[in-house]
Amino acid sequence: MKKEDIVHLEKLMNFLSLHFLKKNNWENVTKTEWSYIVDELNELIIHDNEEKSIKKKPELLGSNYLYEHLIINKLKKYYQNENSVLSKPNLAKLSLIVKVLGYSNYIDFINSNTEAFNFNDLKINMNNTKQNTLLLDRLVGCWYSYNRNLPDNPLQAKDDRIWRSAMEIYKSETTGEYFIERSGGDHHKYFGKVTAYSDYIFIIMNSNTFIRQRHFISRIKDIKEKLKNPDYKLYELHFISTCISFNQEPIALFEIFQKVSDRKSFHPDSISFPIDSDEIPPSIIKQLEDTEANRIDYK
């Protein structure tokens, strides 16, 4: 195994540790806990076979596969001696593991996960203009978003609207900037910066896999007056967004105008609600709360 292979394998084991046990590092997981993770994966494999009506008996993981084959014989052996000659793990088994977690294959998993976000690449500062920090502080917290561009019928019931993502806005303790992180389809992770000037909120976001940035703009009329009331709450935010490629082409706008025949009836905004909003269907809240058993089912 090359150093790169070890890094990739470590990424998988850390992912499993965090996903099933909420532990950030594979080194903090015991042998018994690895057996528990294997049991959970095997249940997912069986369930996946049943859903696909595959009659062939599924190939399950041995109870000590993760601990003995991957932890003891690969990672620990390597870190005890970096010159150890190690055989590569079975790629088919690694792909089997990540497939039941929602990825196409092992390579897709590797490409879809990075350890850190490069917030420094995102620049939305406006010189000589004071940020509306009062508004930014009201935005801090968890939100849930719907994308109104996607449904064929914008008037369809709220429960039937296309789901988009859960997201969190938070203030950096080190830089004082306002950051945003959200889930995305195909397990992409989105990250960004948030700022506000006067009545306007600006968000610039990127993904751990895309070579493009998405821009969101929202306006809350008369926000300065509203913020004078200490009990004022933001119940929803409407965003107009576009997606800029690395060569500065507005990709999303092209896609929208290609699809829209009647611009007057087109809803060009995404709508976001605080996580405790009555507008969010109970089924989604239940799914978000049950972090062990459920993932957001992106449609």
Domains and CATH numbers, the chain: 3-116 (no CATH), 120-296 (2.40.128)
Amino acid at 289: E
**What is the predicted pLDDT for the residue at 299?**
35
Decide: helix, strand or coil at residue 19.
Answer: helix
Please give the mean pLDDT across all residues of the chain.
79
User: How many of the other CB atoms lie within 10 Å of CB of 266?
Assistant: 15
pLDDT digits (tens, 9 = 90+) for 135-186: 999 999 999 887 655 444 555 555 555 567 788 899 887 788 898 888 665 5
Global model pTM greater than 0.75? no
**What is the predicted pLDDT for the residue at 65?**
93
pLDDT digits (tens, 9 = 90+) for 113-146: 654 555 555 666 666 678 899 999 999 999 988 7
**What is the predicted pLDDT for the residue at 71?**
94
More confident residue, 91 or 129: 91
Rounded CA separation 137/140 (Å): 5
Which residues fall within 8 angstroms of residue 257, CB to CB, at 6 or more apart?
Answer: none
Contact present, 148 and 154 (Cβ < 8 Å): yes
**pLDDT at residue 205 greater than cutoff 50:** yes
